[in-house]
């Protein structure tokens, strides 16, 4: 009985073979295996595209110049003091992947909020809101031009309850 693992783009991104594939560090047999996965499994191809784009982004940032004395201090520093010998080393690839996931989630939340906002606002913007008092005034002004102005315009009082 074979064990079945459900893969997603996120779990695939954590697979060390992907990172090695991107760095062209796999043995020929392993590389063929990953090539096949990339062709047949969209989670693999998605993860490859995401990871590759993050790498490109990071590389495009360019090299940062360390401050004066930074390297010397790093070489002479006692790694056992303050944080102790078991201080974990940060995996930059994993950090970028987490950042990418957080960005995606934030973008999704923003899109959802925008959709809700549009749904609330748009009905008011796309629906007619007749200016009844103005309509009555314009109508009576037209009547005034072809009938009796006194009776046409004297009736325009008391329209404030009709709004604008």
Partner 1 sequence: MTQPVRTPARARRVVRAALIAASVATIGFGAMELPGAAASPNPADTQLDRARTAIRNYEFRGTVSLWWRGQHRGQAETIAVVAVDGALRVDDGRFLAEQGRTWMRTGKGWTTLWSDTRDVGAPSAARKYTVARHSGPPIVDRPTRLIVIRRHGRTVERIAFDRATGLVLGRDRFDSSGAPTMRLRFLTLTDLHPRRGAINAPDVGVNAPGTREPVPEDAPKSLTGGFVLVDARRGDDHVTQLRYNDGVFEASVFTETRPLDWDSLPAGGQEIHYGDVRARRYRTAAGTVIVWEAGNRTFTCVTGATSTDQVGIVKALSRSHDSSWDKVIRFVTSPFSWS
Neighbours of 20 (CB within 10 A): 15
Our finding on whether 151 is near partner 1 (CB under 8 A) is yes
Tell me if 13 sits within 8 A of 97, measured CB to CB.
Answer: yes
Classified as helix, coil or strand, 50 is helix
Tell me, rounded to whole angstroms, the distance of Cα 116 from its chain centroid. 16
Our finding on whether 157 is near partner 1 (CB under 8 A) is yes
Instruction: Determine which helix (DSSP H) or strand (DSSP E) holds 119, and give its type and residue range.
Output: helix 92-126
Backbone angles phi, psi at 150, to 5 degrees: -65, -55
Our finding on whether 142 is near partner 1 (CB under 8 A) is yes
Tokens of 153: 């315009």
Cβ distance to partner 1 smaller for residue 108 or 163: 163
Our finding on whether 155 is near partner 1 (CB under 8 A) is yes
> What minimum distance in Å lies between the beta carbon of 116 and partner 1?
13
> What minimum distance in Å lies between the beta carbon of 160 and partner 1?
10
Site for partner 1 in 93-132 (CB under 8 A): 123-124, 126-132
Cβ distance to partner 1 smaller for residue 77 or 138: 138
> What minimum distance in Å lies between the beta carbon of 148 and partner 1?
4
Cβ distance to partner 1 smaller for residue 100 or 162: 162
> What minimum distance in Å lies between the beta carbon of 146 and partner 1?
7
Question: Contacts with partner 1: how many residues (CB under 8 A)?
Answer: 38
Tell me if 156 sits within 8 A of 140, measured CB to CB.
Answer: yes
> What minimum distance in Å lies between the beta carbon of 144 and partner 1?
6
CA distances from 83 to 59, 72, 79, 87, 90 (A): 30, 19, 7, 6, 14
> For binding to partner 1 (CB under 8 A), which residues are involved?
123-124, 126-132, 134-159, 161-163
């Amino acid at each position: 009985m074979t064990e079945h693992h459900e893969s997603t783009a996120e779990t695939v991104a954590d697979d060390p073979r992907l990172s090695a594939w991107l760095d062209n560090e796999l043995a020929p047999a392993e590389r063929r295996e990953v090539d096949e996965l990339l062709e047949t499994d969209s989670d693999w191809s998605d993860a490859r595209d995401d990871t590759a784009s993050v790498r490109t982004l990071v590389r495009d940032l360019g090299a940062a110049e360390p401050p004066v004395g930074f390297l010397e201090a790093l070489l002479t520093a006692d790694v056992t003091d303050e944080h102790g010998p078991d201080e974990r080393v940060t995996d930059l690839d994993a950090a970028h992947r987490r950042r990418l996931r957080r960005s995606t989630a934030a973008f999704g939340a923003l899109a959802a909020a925008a959709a809700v906002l549009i749904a609330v606002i748009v009905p008011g913007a796309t629906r007619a809101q007749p200016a009844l008092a103005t309509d009555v005034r314009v109508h009576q002004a037209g009547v005034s031009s072809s009938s009796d102005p006194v009776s046409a315009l004297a009736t325009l009082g008391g329209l404030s309850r009709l709004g604008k």
